Structure 1
């Protein structure tokens, strides 16, 4: 009889314990939803709910292969933007609880809304599905995408007829490009290869495999030291210009209250990287040292007339003409020159 009483008592304790554990995990899940809304900044301390800390002997956070018991938003472990983590809780009763969570880390300073004025419009060949867009002097270098239509061309700003063109193989989907000295580097979307061309003749010199860190090839620019690439995530990948298959460093991008992913076409100018967001009419001004978005352009009034014709005709071209910005997009009939106020 005593044995049955003890078994029954143990079962009740187990049920209570399971219920308590479930409540703790639910509390952590609710806390996670709150974290995603409010976010943190580097140096902030994670203050977990009392229901969690009261039963915990030890709490740690794991990031895949790494783990820390320091509940501070430390840049050694966290990046700007969203961070997928797991809370690991060792309870005082010896149980192990795990709860997946997302912690958003934001830049401390609000990004500025940058105003502009359209000063000139140039014609653009609306057959071109723009992926990379560069200006050197008065010459435009353009990488156009889609299978069976990909090409690298150059033409004079104000005209639409290519001076030189290099057609790609039918299976190639071209993406962003960058000029380095007398060479042009070009990414491909999902072909896992990049190309290097002679800038004058557009003849291919060599090719290189995309770094394994890039899930795809999207945008590219050159900051005077490294090639910088995007893959549709929140990250800027800095590549060794002498070995573009090697990632030198990775910088995540975020604003003061918003995370940004699907970073796309890039342009480096006067110490900042400018990036458009795929399928959004905005261009970000990014500090490449920290990944903080310091400014934002809203090009809705330029983009809307073009996407009314086709929703895929999104903003996707950034270049600089002196201190003015050139903006175009996929299958747009115009290039817009804007002065930045």
Structure 2
């Protein structure tokens, strides 16, 4: 009889413990969800609910193979944008509880809404599915995508007829491109390789495998020291010129209230990186050291005038002509020169 009473008592304790653990995780989940949209900034501290801290012997936060028991938003562990983490709670009763969460880290300063004025319009071949776009004076280098139609072309601004064309094999989908001295570097979408060409002749000089962490090639630019690539995530990948298969550093991008995924076509100009966001009619001005978005251009009107109702005819071309920006998109019939105010 006594044995049955003890067993029953232990069962009650176990049920109570399980209930308390579930309640603790529910409270932590509600807390994390309430903070996700508002986000944090570097230096902020997570103030976990007392229902968690008072019943926990320890709480750690894991980031893949890294972990910390500090609740401070520390750049050694967190990046700008969304951070997938796991809370591990060791209760005072000896149980170990795990809960996944997303912690958003935003830039401290609001980005400036950049204004501009259209000062010129130029023809652009509407058959070109623009993936990479850059200018040297009045000379345009453009990488166009799609299987069976990918190409690298060169033409004079104001003429839609290319003066030089490098057709890609049918199985290659061309992406971003960048000029470095007398060479052109070009990414591919899903082929996991990049190409290097002679800028004057378009002769292919070599190819290189993309770093493993880059799942897809999207945008490419050159900052005077490194190639900078995107893969459709929130990250800017800085690649070595002599070894583009090596990532020198990774910088994550976010604004004051928003994480910017799907960074695409890139352009480096006067110390900043400019990037469009796939399927959004905006161009971001990014501090390449911190990843903070310091400015944002709204090209909704130009996109609406050029997409002809096709969802894939997106804004996707950024270059600079002096201090003016050149803007175009996939299958657009025009290139716009805009003066930044």
**Match status 1:25 vs 2:25:** yes
**Match status 1:168 vs 2:168:** yes
Q: How does 1:59-78 map to 2 (within 5 A)?
A: 59-78=59-78
Aligned to 1:216: 216
Aligned to 2:206: 206
Q: How does 1:148-297 map to 2 (within 5 A)?
A: 148-297=148-297
In 2, the alpha carbon distance for the partners of 1:308 and 1:159 equals 22
TM-score (norm 1): 0.99
**Match status 1:81 vs 2:81:** yes
3-state SS of 1:140 partner: strand
Unaligned runs of 5+ in 2: none
In 1, the alpha carbon distance for the partners of 2:154 and 2:62 equals 49
> Which deviates more from structure 2 when the two are superposed, residues 163-172 or residues 300-309?
300-309
In 2, the alpha carbon distance for the partners of 1:32 and 1:293 equals 24
Aligned to 1:321: 321
In 2, the alpha carbon distance for the partners of 1:129 and 1:5 equals 76
Contact 2:80–2:252 (CA under 8 A) maintained in structure 1: yes
Contact 2:55–2:91 (CA under 8 A) maintained in structure 1: yes
Q: Once superposed, what is the RMSD of the aligned Cα atoms?
A: 0.6
In 2, the alpha carbon distance for the partners of 1:25 and 1:306 equals 50
In 2, the alpha carbon distance for the partners of 1:209 and 1:51 equals 50
Q: How does 1:37-48 map to 2 (within 5 A)?
A: 37-48=37-48
Structure 1 position 203, deviation (Å): 1.2
3-state SS of 2:125 partner: coil
Contact 2:135–2:320 (CA under 8 A) maintained in structure 1: yes
Aligned to 1:3: 3
Structure 1 segments of 4+ aligned residues over 4 angstroms from their partners: none
In 2, the alpha carbon distance for the partners of 1:41 and 1:279 equals 27
In 2, the alpha carbon distance for the partners of 1:113 and 1:27 equals 38
Residue-pair matches, total: 341
Aligned to 1:140: 140
3-state SS of 2:19 partner: helix
Structure 1 position 309, deviation (Å): 3.3
Aligned to 2:308: 308
3-state SS of 1:243 partner: coil
**Match status 1:16 vs 2:16:** yes
Structure 1 position 38, deviation (Å): 1.1
Aligned to 1:35: 35
In 2, the alpha carbon distance for the partners of 1:293 and 1:308 equals 30
Unaligned runs of 5+ in 1: none
Aligned to 1:120: 120
In 2, the alpha carbon distance for the partners of 1:51 and 1:323 equals 56
Contact 2:137–2:322 (CA under 8 A) maintained in structure 1: no
In 2, the alpha carbon distance for the partners of 1:191 and 1:319 equals 25
Task: Map Cα deviations across residues 1-23 of structure 1 (whole Å, 9 max, x no partner).
Answer: 11101100110111111111111
Structure 1 position 256, deviation (Å): 0.6
Task: Map Cα deviations across residues 268-290 of structure 1 (whole Å, 9 max, x no partner).
Answer: 00000000000000000000000
In 1, the alpha carbon distance for the partners of 2:270 and 2:208 equals 28
Structure 1 position 310, deviation (Å): 1.2
In 2, the alpha carbon distance for the partners of 1:32 and 1:214 equals 29
3-state SS of 2:264 partner: strand
Task: Map Cα deviations across residues 110-134 of structure 1 (whole Å, 9 max, x no partner).
Answer: 0000001111110000000000001
In 2, the alpha carbon distance for the partners of 1:147 and 1:229 equals 21
